[in-house]
Amino acid sequence: MKKRRKHTNEEKLSDTIGSFINNNRMKPRLHEISINKVWKELMGEMVDRYTSSIKVSNNKLILVITSGPLKHELAYGKDKLIEKINQKMGDDFIKEILIR
């Protein structure tokens, strides 16, 4: 005798979680958490040491840097930095960087 297959609305768990995150507007907060980790990986321990705050607001990465020369150095490479962060995160989330 043949077994009957149930017809269900099967969906991958990753798709379900992804749609839940998008529908509940959790994506910006998750990106903010991920960016803290990505920042240290991309910039290294020395730059991370001079970074006192990392926040995300409206697709803007807001960095508070305690070293004047480092602020200027980062300001020159904002576009490349945006590209590296977005590439590392696998999403085109960051549109602008503000350095304070």
Q: Are 42 and 84 in contact (CB under 8 A)?
A: yes
Predicted TM-score (pTM) of this structure: 0.72
**Predicted confidence (pLDDT) per residue in 50-69, tens digit:** 999 998 888 899 999 999 99
**Predicted confidence (pLDDT) per residue in 21-58, tens digit:** 666 666 667 777 788 888 999 999 999 999 999 988 88
Q: Is the pLDDT of residue 9 over 80?
A: no
The mean pLDDT value for 1-18 works out to 68
Tokens matching residue 81: 């930095």
